C-alpha cells in the first residue's frame, strides 16, 4: 500500500486569491458556476461564520458529554477484565457479575460542522502511513537478508495436501481446519492470499496471509516458539532425500535456523516480536508462510497453539471451529474467556467485554452481533455457507 499523498488544496488556494482581490470577484462572478459563487459568498459571510461557530459549540458540548460517558463505560470494561483475570488466577468461578452487561454508548448528537472559511495549512504535513508489505516484498526481503527463496508449491492442491497432512498429524480435525479456512479466506483463498487482496480487492489491508491469515508477528512468534520443532520436522524429511533435493533441504534448514536465532534474539513477548515483524528481516521470516515445507507447519500451529492453550487451562472439551476461530481472532486468553462461558451467559454478555475501545469501534461485526452468542452464531453461519465453496471442498478432500 502506498503511503497517503499529501493532498493539495487548489480550491482553497483560489479562494484565498479571490478574497485578496475583491474586485476580481465582481468582474468574474458572472462566469463562475452558481454553486461555486454561492459557496464563495457563504465562505466570506460573517453570518455563515457565526452560524458555524454556534454549531461547532453545540457539537463540542455534545461530544464532550459522550466522551465522558464512553470513557466511564470502557474504564468499567477494563476493570471487569482485571477482576476476571484475578479470579482465574485464584481458581474462582466467573459469573455474570464479572462482566459489563450493558452495550457501549453510541454517539447520537450533531455532526461536526464544516468550516465555511479556509482552514490554515498545518505547520507539519500529516504523518504518512507505513506501506504494508505484500508477497513480492516478502520474497525480496528473504532474498536480500537470507539469500533464500521459499519453495512454492507446484499447485494449490499440493499445498492443501501438505497442510492437511501436517494438521491431521498434529491433532486438528478436518472440520476445524476446513471451517476456519472457510471463515478466514471466504472459502476460496489460496495459500498465498493476503488480507485485502482477495475477492476483487486490490490493496493489502494487513500482512495476514494464508489459510489462517498469519500476521508477520504471528510468524515471528511461531518461529521463535516452535522453531526447534520445525527444524526437527525438516531434518526428518531431509533424511529421506538425496542429491539435489537433499542439498536444497539442507540449505532451507540452515536458513530456518538463522531465522529462529533472530526471532529468539528478543524476549518471548508479542510486542518484541511485533518490532521484528515490522522490519525487512521480519518480512523475510514471514515469507516462510509461502514455503511448501514450512508454510503448512506455520498454518497448523497458528491453530494448534490455541488448542494447547485451552487444554493447559483445563478446558478438555474439543473446541468447535467457531470457538477456535474466536481464539484465532482475539487471542488465546480473550478467546478462551468466551469459549468457557455457558450458553446462558453467552446470550447476555456483550461482545464489548472482549475488546479495547478502539478495536471495538472499528469492528462492525462485533458491533452488529453484540453478544457472545450472536457473534459465535454469525461465525458458524459464515462457516456453513463458505464450506460449500470450491476452495473449502478442495481442502476437505485433502484430508
3-state secondary structure of 275: helix
Tell me how far apart the 2 most distant CA atoms of the chain are, in Å.
88
Whole-angstrom Cα distance, residue 129 to residue 102?
35
Band of residue 252 on the pLDDT scale cut at 50, 70, 90: very high
Confidence of residue 5 (pLDDT cuts 50, 70, 90): very low
Reading the block at residue 302, the C-alpha cell is 497458528
- Residues 281, 283, 285, CA angle at the centre, nearest 5°? 75
This prediction's pTM? 0.79
Which range among 20-24, 64-68, 192-196 shows the weakest confidence by mean pLDDT? 20-24
Q: In the predicted model, is pLDDT for residue 399 greater than 90?
A: yes
Angle of helix 332-339 versus helix 321-330 axis, rounded to 10: 140
Each residue of 339-357: pLDDT tens digit?
A: 889 999 999 999 999 999 9
Q: Is 342 exposed, middle or buried (0-12, 13-18, 19+ CB in 10 A)?
A: exposed
Sequence-separated (6 or more) residues with CB below 8 Å from residue 10: none
Instruction: Please report the pLDDT score of residue 31 as a whole number.
Output: 46
Over pLDDT 70: what percentage of the chain? 88
Amino acid at each position: 500500500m502506498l503511503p497517503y499523498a499529501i493532498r493539495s488544496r487548489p480550491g482553497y488556494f483560489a479562494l484565498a486569491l479571490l478574497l485578496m482581490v475583491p474586485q476580481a470577484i465582481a468582474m468574474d462572478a458572472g462566469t463562475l458556476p452558481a454553486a461555486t459563487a454561492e459557496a464563495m459568498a457563504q465562505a466570506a459571510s460573517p453570518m455563515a461564520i457565526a452560524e458555524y461557530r454556534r454549531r461547532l459549540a453545540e457539537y463540542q458540548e455534545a461530544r464532550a458529554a459522550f466522551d465522558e460517558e464512553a470513557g466511564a463505560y470502557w474504564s468499567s470494561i477494563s476493570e471487569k477484565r482485571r477482576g476476571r483475570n484475578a479470579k482465574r488466577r485464584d481458581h474462582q468461578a466467573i459469573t455474570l457479575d464479572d462482566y459489563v452487561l450493558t452495550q457501549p454508548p453510541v454517539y447520537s448528537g450533531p455532526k461536526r460542522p464544516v468550516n465555511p472559511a479556509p482552514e490554515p495549512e498545518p505547520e507539519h504535513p500529516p504523518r504518512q502511513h507505513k506501506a504494508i508489505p505484500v508477497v513480492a516484498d516478502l520474497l525480496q526481503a528473504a532474498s536480500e537478508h537470507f539469500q533464500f527463496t521459499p519453495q512454492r508449491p507446484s499447485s494449490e492442491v499440493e499445498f492443501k495436501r501438505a497442510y492437511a497432512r501436517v494438521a491431521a498429524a498434529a491433532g486438528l480435525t478436518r472440520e476445524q481446519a476446513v471451517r476456519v479456512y472457510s471463515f478466514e479466506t471466504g472459502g476460496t483463498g489460496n495459500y498465498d492470499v493476503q488480507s485485502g487482496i482477495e475477492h476483487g480487492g486490490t490493496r493489502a489491508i494487513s500482512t495476514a496471509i494464508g489459510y489462517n491469515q498469519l500476521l508477520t508477528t504471528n510468524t515471528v512468534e511461531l518461529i521463535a516458539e516452535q522453531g526447534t520443532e520445525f527444524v526437527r520436522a525438516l531434518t526428518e524429511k531431509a533424511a529421506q532425500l538425496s542429491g539435489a533435493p537433499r542439498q536444497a533441504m539442507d540449505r532451507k534448514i540452515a536458513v530456518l535456523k538463522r531465522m529462529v536465532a533472530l526471532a529468539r534474539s528478543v524476549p518471548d513477548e508479542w510486542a518484541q516480536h511485533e518490532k521484528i515483524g515490522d522490519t525487512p528481516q521480519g518480512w523475510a521470516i514471514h515469507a516462510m508462510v509461502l514455503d511448501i515445507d514450512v508454510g503448512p507447519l506455520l498454518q497448523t500451529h497458528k491453530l494448534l497453539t490455541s488448542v494447547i492453550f485451552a487444554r493447559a487451562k483445563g478446558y478438555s472439551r474439543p473446541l468447535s471451529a467457531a470457538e477456535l476461530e474466536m481464539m484465532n481472532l482475539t487471542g488465546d486468553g480473550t478467546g478462551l474467556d468466551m469459549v468457557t462461558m455457558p450458553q446462558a451467559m453467552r446470550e447476555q454478555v456483550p461482545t464489548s467485554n472482549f475488546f479495547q475501545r478502539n478495536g471495538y469501534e472499528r469492528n462492525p461485526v462485533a458491533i452488529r452481533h453484540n453478544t457472545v452468542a450472536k457473534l459465535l452464531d454469525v461465525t458458524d453461519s459464515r462457516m456453513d455457507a463458505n464450506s460449500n465453496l470450491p476452495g473449502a471442498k478442495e481442502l476437505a478432500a485433502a484430508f
